[in-house]
A and B are shown apart, each in its own frame.
Chain A
Amino acid sequence: MNGIQEAFASAVEWIKTQKSQFSLEAHPKQDVTRLSFYKPLGELLMTLIVLRRSGVAAQFVEEYSNWAWNEVGTGSQLEELLLLRQDLWAATIMYGWFRELGFYSPRVERAVRYVYRTDLYQSQAIVYYRRLEVEVALQYLHGRALGPEICDSTQINAMPEPWAVSEDVAYTTTHEVFYVTDFGKRPELLRPHIKNYLLLWLPVWLDVFRSAGHWDIFGELLTVANILGARDIFTHHCPHFLQVQLGNGVFPGPTPPRPPLGTEKEWDRSFFLDNYHTTMIGLIALAPHVRGGR
């Protein structure tokens, strides 16, 4: 089993070897207006932001941020997506991440502002944490800080029965924490009762998803522990996470391993899709504990 330093470094190395899988070139051109086309790249951006804030893997962050900006044609591909598919409001988030990483395009920004103003976005039934994600991304554009009132419509504000946790409930919980606090940048936005609720039940949920072998949620819950400043919870549970890391640096995703089928290229693609998210969550969870970070 690797220690935190080694586990983090080997996960970064695996992500580096997957550049072609994150690339938009990996998709057929006719898929250009499908959001799934952009999902891994968008999540890579989010990971880079957290690593940069933690002050770790600086060279990797800089190189891959620049590469990602070029992948989207320094913004032109995002502008096209936003104006061709205005229902894909989630694309506005991706530009928000780029903005936080220091990139800027007035044309994309104009498209984002348009999509945000549409009656469709304003009226669309959207899971609340997704709307939160948009709000967080947009604050990078207009520079207006969000307040703790963004907690009011969350699921965690209602403090649901803790034993009723399921995949959906857990993902909603973790994502609400991520977006309310902007991935730990502003932990004070979590109202005190929510923080106490999470601190009380987090260890149980970690045990539940450890027993289930659901390392994706487990990694997200470890990240929540970081955001809450619960070092004891992180320290107690992190070894389980380190123990399941594969030799190539991958943190295994929730999909059970499958036998190699199809061509080598197809197999590589399915292995990437099954595991990239959990591996990046691993990076996010470990980053604050890497030596040399902030």
Chain B
Amino acid sequence: MGNINVEIGSAYESFLRSEEALFFDQMNSQRTLLPWNTVVDAAINARLTGRPFGPSARKVLGVSLYKAQEDGAIPDGQAIFAQIIASSLLGKSEAQPASGVNDVGGDLNSLGRGLALGIAFSGIDARRTIIISMRAACALSYQGNIADAVDALLPAAVLLPRTSCSDRPVMLKGMAQFLAYFEACTDLFNSSRAKWTAKAAELLLAIP
């Protein structure tokens, strides 16, 4: 189980590093407001590398997210997660999604990336994040938007192996179905992300 988690985490990290710049080092010395998507990247990378933010960086990041929200810069699908992360960064009490758990509407195209926010900090409700992630992937798959569906499924793929809940068997079954589907879609959509997720499928399926 431990090895599997490491493999998934490592694969996920590689995936992120290949697509996004690593901002962590710059973050800790930053004193001005940052673009919200930069904060997202920093949060994810901090989580993956296990390198915590200092108090100043936390404040800059948190305030940046709040400001971006106020300015309407964050797409709807990601706003709820941005709020959670901002609260967490600023040391406020955890903001739980009041809505959105049952709602996969809104800006689905950007939801996948927004969902990645959910895994960036401890204290996020893992089960709820998995549910949102899987429902978003389902809605996107229904629409034939496989590339974004893969994105949307990433948080669930990462969190599910280390989350225990009574409905986990059903989630694992859904995950296996998604990953078999994405694997089948790899050539059709020429998607390396689908291939990566299919690899994760093998790992997930190996979990007892």
Contacts and interface: CB of A to CB of B under 8 A. Distances in A.
B is bound to A:
yes
Contacts of A236: 99, 102-103
Interface string B128-168: 00010011011101100000010000000000000000110
Contacts of A232: 102
Interface of B: 99, 102-105, 131, 134-135, 137-139, 141-142, 149, 166-167, 169-171, 173-174, 177, 181
Given A207-B105, A232-B102, A236-B103, A200 B139 contact: no
Given A161-B177, A162-B138, A203 B170 contact: no
B139 A207 contact: yes
Given A197-B170, A200-B135, A200-B167, A163 B102 contact: no
A107 interface: no
Interface in A183-239: 193, 196-197, 199-201, 203-204, 207-208, 232-233, 236-237
A223 to B, nearest CB: 17
Contacts of B139: 163, 204, 207-208
A146 interface: no
A141 interface: no
A interface secondary structure, majority: helix
Interface string A144-167: 000000000000000101110100
Contact of B138 (A159, A196, A201): A201
B163 to A, nearest CB: 14
A201 B166 CA distance: 16
B167 to A, nearest CB: 4
Nearest to B132: A203
B142 A208 contact: yes
Given A159-B173, A196-B166, 9 more contacts: A162-B177, A193-B169, A197-B173, A200-B135, A200-B170, A200-B171, A204-B139, A233-B102, A237-B102
16 contacts: A159-B174, A162-B174, A163-B142, A163-B181, A193-B170, A196-B167, A196-B170, A197-B173, A201-B138, A204-B139, A207-B103, A207-B139, A208-B139, A208-B142, A232-B102, A236-B102
Contacts of B174: 159, 162, 200-201
B167 A204 contact: no
Nearest to A194: B170
Q: Which of A159, A203, A204, A237 has the most CB of B within 10 A?
A: A204
Contacts of A165: 142
A163 B170 CA distance: 15
Contacts of B134: 200
- Going nearest first, the 10 A-B pairs with the smallest beta carbon separation are A163-B141, A196-B167, A203-B102, A196-B170, A163-B142, A204-B138, A236-B102, A163-B138, A161-B177, A162-B138
A193 B170 CA distance: 7
A27 to B, nearest CB: 40
Interface in A234-282: 236-237
A199 B167 contact: yes
Contacts of A199: 167
Contacts of B169: 193, 196
Contacts of A196: 166-167, 169-170
Contacts of B142: 163, 165, 204, 208
Contacts of B105: 207
Contact of B170 (A159, A204, A208, A233): A159
A244 B206 CA distance: 47
A192 to B, nearest CB: 8
Contacts of A200: 131, 134-135, 167, 170-171, 174
A164 to B, nearest CB: 8
A203 B173 contact: no
A204 B108 CA distance: 12
B103 A203 contact: yes
A207 B141 CA distance: 13
Contacts of B177: 161-162
B173 to A, nearest CB: 6
Contacts of B149: 163
Contacts of A201: 135, 138, 174
Contact of A204 (B99, B104, B166, B173): B104
A197 B139 CA distance: 15
Contacts of B104: 203-204, 207
A124 to B, nearest CB: 32
Contacts of A163: 137-139, 141-142, 149, 181
A61 B135 CA distance: 39
Nearest to A200: B170
